[in-house]
Amino acid sequence: MKHHSLRARLWIGALISIAVALLIAWLGLANLFERHVERHLGTELETLLNQLAAAVEIAPDGAIRLTREPRAPAFAQPLSGHYWQIDRPNQAGVLRSRSLWDEVLILPDDALASGVIHAHHLPGPDGQSLLVRERRIQVSANPEPVELRLILAEDRAELIAARANFAADMRPYLGLIAFLLMLAALVQIQTGLAPLETLRREIGAIRAGRASRVAANAPDEVGPLIAELNALLEARERSVERARAWTADLAHGLKTPLSVLAADAERLRQAGHPDLAEDLDQLAVTMRRRVERELIRARVRSGHPPHAARAEVVEHLARLLRTLRRTPDGERLDWQITAPERVIVALMAEDLLELLGNLLENAAKWAEDRVEVQVSTSPGGQVEIQIADDGHGVAPAHWSRLGERGLRLDERQAGTGLGLAIVRDVVEAYGGTLGFGRAESGGLLVWVRLPEARGLD
């Protein structure tokens, strides 16, 4: 996908959105899991805290003792991460679990109402991070009640490990969700861009001559674009028609002066000036041919051909050959034609005649004895026409220049150098291809590929 592709931009946006959404979901679910487990552990600590409060009492000598200690084995294992502790005012750790060993938990001196439980995250022994619950109670004693601070703590390492395991367990499911989201993005992008692909195909049909307008049944977002495009096509057709009318007027306007020039040449010939008359005749013929060809160039360059343009290749070939065989160059040659019975190209008839006429005249001019014409079709909707002569041919170094306006590689033969230039203009106007090569007989091989007319009666 190209960087400036709309599809690429949509994919980049979709992938970034999916990645950000899954990352947020992964972190959010992991945090929710951690908070849920922490609440569960906090509830257990509060239960143990209540049990510790129920077991504490003051001995007659004022000492603090427990009627029963918490029975969890972890409280007896040094630095196990499970701790309890009882503080008196200004005396921390009066009683504490064996797991604390010689450590004392130091809590912030915050004001606690009696029976209210506070939660803390505090550093503990051996670099542990502790989840702490504390409460204050008053225990009856003589001569007055004693206020005690009860503390339960648990290492958060197990909680952190559980969070990491949960996050790891989520990865396959997040991967599955990512796949489903990308599949949904693919469907969304394909569906969203489908009208543009349809528009591309319809414009291609217009360019190939199979349609004249873009269908209007499109989403509202594409509708204004189609309306503007159809308006542009309509304006272009009007411009093309005006150009064709202008070329026709120009041809008609030049016909009379050229006829007058030919008449003047005839009068000079009758007056005893045959050389001057021949020069005028040659000038008139050259001017007429050049005007005709320039008018053809103007027509094919004035815009795309009508969508209904079509011409039968074999029929026009036969028509041209009947004329060429009556010319000095054509009657001496053996013309070999290989073609299907019926091949229709998406060209206007006059343009196909001009194209084939120039190619056949060029081949007749340079051939020694034979000209071969082969017409074939391809599954891709192309018609290929190959014309090969048995003349001296053209050096490969000059193939790329053939068709340049006014190019003449051999001045010994008469001509204007416009024939192949006209062929190139016609081929390019209809979206075809023109190429040159060496024929098997040693002469020049010229091939053109033109769009085949389809779906037309």
Same fold yes or no, 224-301 and 311-451: no
Asked whether the beta carbons of 120 and 132 are under 8 A apart, the reply is yes
**Cis peptide, bond prior to residue 143, ω within 30 of zero:** yes
Residue spans of the domains in the chain: they are: 1-207, 224-301, 311-451
pLDDT greater at residue 377 or residue 304: 377
Helix (H) or strand (E) holding 196: helix 157-207
Supply the mean pLDDT for the chain.
83
Report, at the CATH architecture level, how domain 224-301 is classified.
Orthogonal Bundle (1.10)
CATH class label, 311-451: alpha beta
Q: What is the pTM of this model?
A: 0.54
CA distance 441 to 71: 109
Q: CA geometry: angle at 64 spanning 96 and 151, to 5°?
A: 40
In this structure, of 117-121, 267-271, 279-283, the range with the lowest mean pLDDT score is 279-283
pLDDT greater at residue 272 or residue 401: 272
pLDDT tens, 251-270?
A: 667 767 777 777 877 888 88
Tell me the three state secondary structure of residue 97.
coil
* Span 226-232, average pLDDT: 86
CA distance 252 to 244: 12
Q: How many CB atoms are located within 10 Å of the residue 258 CB?
A: 15
Which residue type, as a one-letter code, is found at position 298?
Answer: A
pLDDT tens, 290-319?
A: 676 666 666 666 555 555 578 899 999 999
pLDDT at 408: 47
In this structure, of 16-25, 262-271, 394-403, the range with the lowest mean pLDDT score is 394-403
